[in-house]
Structure 1
Amino acid sequence: MEFLGKFFSTVRLSWKLWLVSIAIGLVSWPLAVIGKYIPVPKTPFAKFFVKPFQQRRGARNS
């Protein structure tokens, strides 16, 4: 992050901030793997809510 420091106003990280950054990375990787295993339905969830309203609209116009 020191590259182009004056242009982007970046500063060096302290060792505590480095440890926090590494800890966040170590926690986020397993969470991302767990998120990949959550099943996603083929039909979008919002379609279940749109369909009944479209049927009412069609019946009203008839």
Structure 2
Amino acid sequence: MGFDADLTLFRMEHRPTLLVDAEKESLQADNILVPLAAIRAGKGYLTEQGSAEHAFDF
């Protein structure tokens, strides 16, 4: 047997976004990943966005 898996749940959202790194290089993205919830060591955690959307019931 192994250990419990950690998991993060995202929703892909079409939202044009400018991404800028530490060296001021930029890249235009058409989609972003919005985190909704995570499961760590068997316990569920909702993000603010996940709570607002009632995405999961932990």
TM-score by structure 2 length?
0.24
State the structure with bigger RCO (CA 8 A, min sep 6), 1 or 2: 2
Give the strand-richer structure, 1 or 2.
Answer: 2
TM-score by length of 1: 0.23
Q: Decide which structure has greater helix share.
A: 1
Larger CA Rg, structure 1 vs 2: 1
